[in-house]
Amino acid sequence: MIGSVVAMSEKFGKRVCLWTAMAMWMCVASAAGGPATEASRFTILVFTKTAGYRHDSIPAGITAIRSLGNEHGFTVVNSEETSIFNEVELAKYRVIVFLNTTGDILNSVEQAALETFIRHGGGFAGIHSATDTEYDWPWYGQLVGAYFQSHPAIQRAVVKRVDSSDASTAALPPEWQRTDEWYNFQDNPPSRVTVLLDLDETTYDGGTMGESHPLAWRHEYDGGRAWYTAMGHTAESYAEPLFLSHILGGIMWAANEALSDPERDPLRTGYLVVNPDPGSAAPAATVTLALLTNGAVQSQAAVTVQPLVYEASLFAEVEAAMGRNVGVAIANPGYSTNTVTITLYRPDGSSAGTSVTMILPERHQAARFLSDIFSDSIPAPVTGSVRIEGIAPLSLIGLRFSGSTFSTIPLRSSRMVIDGSGTLVFPQIAMGGGWATQIALLNNGGETITGHIDIFDTAGNPMSIDLNNTFQNAFAYSIPAAAGGFLFAPRAQNGQPVF
């Protein structure tokens, strides 16, 4: 349950959280427009000027990076105007991305501005033909890491992950088969950089660099940070989830930012499903929701994932004058519409107002406050219980709010559903807008358990979030008996959970 029907206290700044008609929490920043809104973590410049070959994938790359910015709370400005390369303009940006640039594109004054930007701690991210740029500028050659020499025809090859700890490679498999235009470089940069990915020249034709063929790298250079990937020639690359996670991680590293920031990222809400592999026992699963301000936890609540139910009752309390309310989150994991009836009762068992019917489409989730559900009939204040009943199994939790502090409410149900597959559904997760979610899995058995966690938005669509510095919508787990448990959590740059 995310948020409150009343404005948050002053410590939450100008954000106001409210419940929408679609029953999800959204945080609205008071500022709007422009490249430096209050909601933006930072701003990047995507520079796409070419003085040589022009890649037809540039528009797809710009669109993809804009989408990454929207999802992760940074602003993207695209330009091909070299006049922007002056100290005043470049100071507006945290990272400058050279997306498939080619040739001699900056004059000496503009080059000096980029050098100053890096020396003041700025970040640089180069994509594909950024190494086919500015051959007569030695400082740039050191920044980008190497210069392009040649390439064979576009073909499929195997990319090997060298460093799995980097945000740009954490989501990638150890061996990644994909199609692209594979660059050979004039020299090998490993002595100057940290290599993240290597290209296996035995898996394609036309490689000239031998056993060590770096494909992506990063380094700190001249006061700033520089990251580069040689991939990204084709327009199709910018629709590949793994390649987009690779670019995202590179931009975030260059910006010296963690992959996610629960306080500054846009709010994303939905639900999750824990799916054990066939033949594997289910883990014990606990989901913890937390509200953060200035890096400190203001309130948190842990909920053990329960079986699906047809009906459940829980404590109810609504008293606006004291900021007290109860929220319920309901997920319909089935493939048919679920009709949900919600009834409020007084302590003596009598009905308090008219029952409310909610139509929840297949695979959808809803989260509502009692004050919203019974807005036309609820007596104020009220204390009692609420009964929630569906015509099909549903997943349900309740949270009790007192201002910005919240806690879990125990459920009582006489009609639980025991699913032989061991699938577990948790009806509320939240990332961003001050909210963060952790998922703890515990192996209580004597054998290794395996499976995956799937993340969905409120409409049942796969939703990517950042857990363990990996941005995706499905997370595999394998927990040996002796290992006990495993934690999926948003993490800071040092790898520690944010709460």
Domain regions of the chain by residue span: 42-254, 268-488
Rounded distance between C-alpha atoms, residue 307 and residue 331, angstroms: 12
Q: Is the pLDDT confidence value at 25 over 50?
A: no
Same fold, 42-254 and 268-488: no
Rounded distance between C-alpha atoms, residue 456 and residue 462, angstroms: 4
CATH architecture of the domain 42-254 equals: 3-Layer(aba) Sandwich (3.40)
**DSSP string across 50-119:** BSS---TTHHHHHHHHHHHHHHHT-EEEEE--GGG-SHHHHTT-SEEEEES-BB----HHHHHHHHHHHH
Closest C-alpha to 265, from 45, 97, 464: 464
pLDDT band at 250 (very low <50, low <70, confident <90, very high): very high
* Percent of the chain whose predicted confidence (pLDDT) is above 90: 65
What is the rounded average pLDDT of the residues 184-190? 93
Q: Is the pLDDT confidence value at 22 over 90?
A: no
pLDDT band at 39 (very low <50, low <70, confident <90, very high): low
Residue count of the chain, please give it: 499
pLDDT band at 29 (very low <50, low <70, confident <90, very high): very low
Rounded distance between C-alpha atoms, residue 398 and residue 419, angstroms: 22
Tell me the pLDDT of the chain averaged across its residues. Answer: 87
Tokens at 346, concatenated: 């007084």
Tokens at 121, concatenated: 């701690």
Q: Strand 95-99 and strand 43-47: pairing?
A: parallel
Q: Is the pLDDT confidence value at 431 over 70?
A: yes
pLDDT band at 418 (very low <50, low <70, confident <90, very high): low
What is the rounded average pLDDT of the residues 219-227? 97
Query: How high is the pLDDT of residue 379?
Result: 63
Rounded distance between C-alpha atoms, residue 54 and residue 494, angstroms: 39
Query: How high is the pLDDT of residue 495?
Result: 73
pLDDT band at 419 (very low <50, low <70, confident <90, very high): low
Assign domain 268-488 one CATH number from 3.40.50.1110, 2.60.290.11, 1.10.10.10, 3.60.140.10: 2.60.290.11
Rounded distance between C-alpha atoms, residue 13 and residue 72, angstroms: 20
Per residue in 453-490, pLDDT (tens digit) is 999 999 999 998 888 878 888 999 999 987 678 899 98
Tokens 């204390």 -> residue: 383
Tokens 């929408």 -> residue: 20
Residue 189 CA, chain-centre distance (Å), reads 31
- Spell out where 403-459 has E strands: 405-408, 416-417, 424-431, 435-442, 449-457
pLDDT band at 53 (very low <50, low <70, confident <90, very high): very high
Per residue in 284-306, pLDDT (tens digit) is 999 999 999 888 898 999 988 88
DSSP reduced 3-state for 350: coil
Query: How high is the pLDDT of residue 374?
Result: 85
Q: Is the pLDDT confidence value at 102 over 80?
A: yes
Query: How high is the pLDDT of residue 448?
Result: 93
For residue 347, whether the previous peptide bond is cis, meaning omega lies within 30 degrees of 0, is no
Per residue in 341-357, pLDDT (tens digit) is 999 998 988 888 789 99
Rounded distance between C-alpha atoms, residue 53 and residue 379, angstroms: 70
